[in-house]
Structure 1
Amino acid sequence: MNILVVTAHPLKNSLCGLFSETITSSLSNMGHEVRSENLYVNRFDPVLSIDERMTYYKESYDASKVSEEMERLVNSDALVLIFPTWWFGFPAILKGWFDRVWAPTVAYDHADDYGPIKPKLNNLKKAFVVTTLGAPWWVDHIILRRPIKRTLRFALLGACARKCKLKFLSFYKCESVDSARKYKQIRKIESELTKFFGNNATYAAHEESNVIIQEDKV
């Protein structure tokens, strides 16, 4: 598979940075083609431009400033997102990536009557998400009902990549993590990656026989 790995954390030595290295290495060792995109390292501008907003509902949408990011997205079979959860939302730089890259004519088309949008990211078959939180699990699950997972599943993938299967991993109370716990987290990620993606030869065989395993379909 062609897999796009997007990381959104300002610190290279963060837990997200460690997870990003682990995931990129593991997927490459499985035989997948991996493209890594670190939004902070690339100095991605999350601010939607005036021209982008002015042409949002026009056929000639101005995507000139994010054309490379869009090309990487539409040429990927799978997407991996690695980011911290801040205030139970996406980091601003990742939210801006969705705003600017998951744009009209690329991620979806507008309906003629401004009704439900028409999905265009049919290339995305799988999405693997890893996020870290400082809060305990019960605040995310019980009080706030997992807002980021619901946004990804129903608003983003549900609108733009309806056939995409989602795997979502959350790691809680991550403001202080000792070596033993980091090891367990990495092993968990590696195990879930293997189950979710398998190796590239297995994926190619499924593609050739037109068999796609249906798991957590959005």
Structure 2
Amino acid sequence: MRILLVLAHPLPESFATSVARTARDALEASGHVVDLLDLYREDFDPRLSKAERSGYFDVPYDTSAVADIVVRLKAADGLILVFPQWWFNFPAILKGFFDRVFAPGVAFSHDAAGGRIVPQLTNIRLLYALTTTGSPWWLVRLYMGDPVRRLLKRGIAAFCSKRLHFKMLSLHDMDRATDAKRKLHLDRVRKLLSTIR
């Protein structure tokens, strides 16, 4: 399987980078081809431009500004996202990745009859999110309603692909995580990704 592994963290020494490295190693050890898209290292601009927004309903929609990433997404069988949750949401650079790359004609098409969107990422068979939160699990899930999981599963996955396998693995309370807890999480990442066939 060809996996597009997207990393969204500004610090090369971050735990997210360790998660991405662990993910890549586990996937490659299982024989998968991994395309690492490090949004910060590749200097991805998350800002939707005036031209991109004003042409949103044009057919075809102009994705030329992100054409190289679109090619990488369309070549993938699976998408794995590695990112921290900040303010119970995506980092801005990852939100911009969705805004600019998951565009009409790429991730979905507009239904001419009105309202609905039609999934277009039929090549993507799995979407995994490997994430961390600074908050404890009960605050994220019980108080906030797990917004990132809902956005990914019910929004992006459901609206952009059909019969997609979705999983999310989170390390909560990251700010107080011990070395042992972080190592255990990396082991969980390795174990999860080794099951991908």
TM range (shorter): over 0.9
The separation in 2 between residues aligned to 1:121 and 1:44, in whole angstroms, is 21
The separation in 1 between residues aligned to 2:17 and 2:6, in whole angstroms, is 11
Q: 2:131 maps to which residue?
A: 131
Q: Which residues in structure 2 correspond to 1:96-115 (within 5 Å)?
A: 96-115=96-115
Shift of 1:42: 0.6
The separation in 2 between residues aligned to 1:152 and 1:138, in whole angstroms, is 19
Which segment drifts farther, 39-48 or 53-62?
53-62
Conserved 8 A contact 1:124-1:163? no
Shift of 1:178: 2.6
Shift of 1:32: 0.4
Structure 1 portions without partners, runs of 5+: 198-202, 204-218
TM-score by length of 2: 0.97
Shift of 1:145: 1.1
Count of residue pairs brought into register by the alignment: 197
The separation in 2 between residues aligned to 1:37 and 1:184, in whole angstroms, is 25
Conserved 8 A contact 1:83-1:91? yes
Q: CA deviation digits over 1:69-114, x for unaligned, max 9?
A: 1111111000000000000010000000000000001111001133
Q: 2:23 maps to which residue?
A: 23
Q: 1:163 maps to which residue?
A: 163
Q: 1:63 maps to which residue?
A: 63
Q: Which residues in structure 2 correspond to 1:6-85 (within 5 Å)?
A: 6-85=6-85
Q: SS state of the match for residue 194, structure 2? A: helix
The separation in 2 between residues aligned to 1:179 and 1:3, in whole angstroms, is 28
The separation in 1 between residues aligned to 2:54 and 2:149, in whole angstroms, is 30
Paired amino acid for 1:72: R
TM-score by length of 1: 0.88
The separation in 2 between residues aligned to 1:56 and 1:165, in whole angstroms, is 28
Structure 2 portions without partners, runs of 5+: none
Moved over 3 A (4+): none
Q: SS state of the match for residue 81, structure 2? A: strand
Q: SS state of the match for residue 121, structure 1? A: coil
Identity %: 38
The separation in 1 between residues aligned to 2:60 and 2:130, in whole angstroms, is 35
Paired amino acid for 2:86: W
Q: 1:3 maps to which residue?
A: 3
